[in-house]
With several copies, the nearest count.
Chain A
Amino acid sequence: MDDNDFDPIEDTLGVADRLAAEALIVDVDGFEGPLDLLLSLSRTQKVDLRKISVLDLARQYLGFVQQAKALRIELAADYLVMAAWLAYLKSRLLLPPDPAEDGPSGEELAAHLAFQLERLQAMRDVAARLMARDRLGRDFFARGQVQTVERVRKVRYTATLLDLMQGYARLRTRDEFRPFVMDRDSVYTMEEALGRMRGLLGFAGQWTDIAAWLPDGWDADPVKWRSATAATFAASLELVKEGHAEIRQSETFAPIELRKRDGRE
Chain B
Amino acid sequence: MTDNDSLFAAPPMAEQERMVEAVLFASAGPVTVRDLEQRLPHGCDPAEALMNLRARYEGRGVRIVRVGDAWAMRTAPDLGWLMQKETVETRKLSRAAIETLAIIAYHQPVTRAEIEEIRGVSVSRGTVDQLLEMEWIRFGRRKMTPGRPVTFVVTQVFLDHFGLENARDLPGLKELRAAGLLESRPAFGALPGATAADDEDEAPGQSELFED
Determine the chain B residues whose CB is within 8 A of the CB of A36 once the complex forms.
Answer: 120-121
Please choose the segment from A66-74, A134-142, A196-204, A235-243 that sits at the chain B interface, where 4 or more of its residues have CB less than 8 A away. A134-142
A112-B188 contact in complex given A161-B139, A165-B170, C-beta closer than 8 Å? yes
Report, as a range, how many residues of chain B touch the other chain: 35 or more
**B7-55 with Cβ < 8 A to chain A:** 22, 25-29
Mark contacts of A132-170 with chain B using CB atoms, 8 A cut-off: 1 yes-contact digit, 0 otherwise. 011111111111111101111111111111111111111
Indicate if A179 sits at the interface (CB-CB under 8 A).
yes
Query: Contact at B120–A127, with CB atoms within 8 Å?
Result: no
Query: Contact at A163–B90, with CB atoms within 8 Å?
Result: no
Nearest CB of B to A162, in Å: 6
Determine the chain A residues whose CB is within 8 A of the CB of B90 once the complex forms.
Answer: 135, 137-138, 155-158
Query: Contact at A112–B185, with CB atoms within 8 Å?
Result: yes
Query: Contact at A149–B171, with CB atoms within 8 Å?
Result: no
Report, as a range, how many residues of chain A touch the other chain: 35 or more
Indicate if A208 sits at the interface (CB-CB under 8 A).
no
**B74-105 with Cβ < 8 A to chain A:** 74-77, 80, 83-93, 95-99, 101-103, 105
From the candidates A157, A166, A175, name the one contacting B91 in the complex (CB within 8 A). Answer: A157
Determine the chain A residues whose CB is within 8 A of the CB of B22 once the complex forms.
Answer: 141
Determine the chain A residues whose CB is within 8 A of the CB of B26 once the complex forms.
Answer: 141-144, 147, 149
Indicate if B191 sits at the interface (CB-CB under 8 A).
yes
A126-B171 contact in complex given A140-B80, A143-B25, A171-B103, C-beta closer than 8 Å? yes
A141-B83 contact in complex given A122-B179, A167-B102, A168-B99, C-beta closer than 8 Å? yes
Query: Contact at A164–B72, with CB atoms within 8 Å?
Result: no
Nearest CB of B to A38, in Å: 8
- Number of inter-chain CB pairs below 8 Å: 298
Indicate if B160 sits at the interface (CB-CB under 8 A).
yes
Nearest CB of A to B62, in Å: 9
**A66-125 with Cβ < 8 A to chain B:** 78, 81-82, 85, 103-104, 108-109, 112-113, 115-116, 118-120, 122-125
When chains A and B are docked, how far (Å) is the Cα of A127 from the Cα of B173?
Answer: 11
Query: Contact at B28–A104, with CB atoms within 8 Å?
Result: no
When chains A and B are docked, how far (Å) is the Cα of A227 from the Cα of B191?
Answer: 14
Please choose the segment from A8-16, A27-35, A256-264 that sits at the chain B interface, where 4 or more of its residues have CB less than 8 A away. A27-35
Query: Contact at B187–A119, with CB atoms within 8 Å?
Result: no
Mark contacts of B150-181 with chain A using CB atoms, 8 A cut-off: 1 yes-contact digit, 0 otherwise. 00000000001111100000111100100101
Determine the chain A residues whose CB is within 8 A of the CB of B190 once the complex forms.
Answer: 85, 103-104, 109, 174-175
The chain B residue with its CB closest to the CB of A172 is: B173
Indicate if A180 sits at the interface (CB-CB under 8 A).
yes
Determine the chain B residues whose CB is within 8 A of the CB of A174 once the complex forms.
Answer: 120, 190, 195, 208, 211
Nearest CB of B to A93, in Å: 14
Report 29 cross-chain contacts, Cβ distance below 8 Å, ordered by A residue: A32-B96, A35-B120, A78-B121, A82-B193, A109-B190, A112-B185, A113-B191, A116-B191, A126-B172, A127-B99, A129-B171, A130-B98, A130-B101, A135-B161, A135-B163, A138-B80, A138-B87, A143-B25, A147-B75, A147-B83, A155-B91, A156-B91, A164-B105, A164-B162, A164-B170, A176-B184, A176-B187, A178-B185, A183-B191
Residues of A within 8 A of B (CB): 32-36, 78, 81-82, 85, 103-104, 108-109, 112-113, 115-116, 118-120, 122-127, 129-131, 133-147, 149-181, 183, 185-187, 221, 223, 227, 230
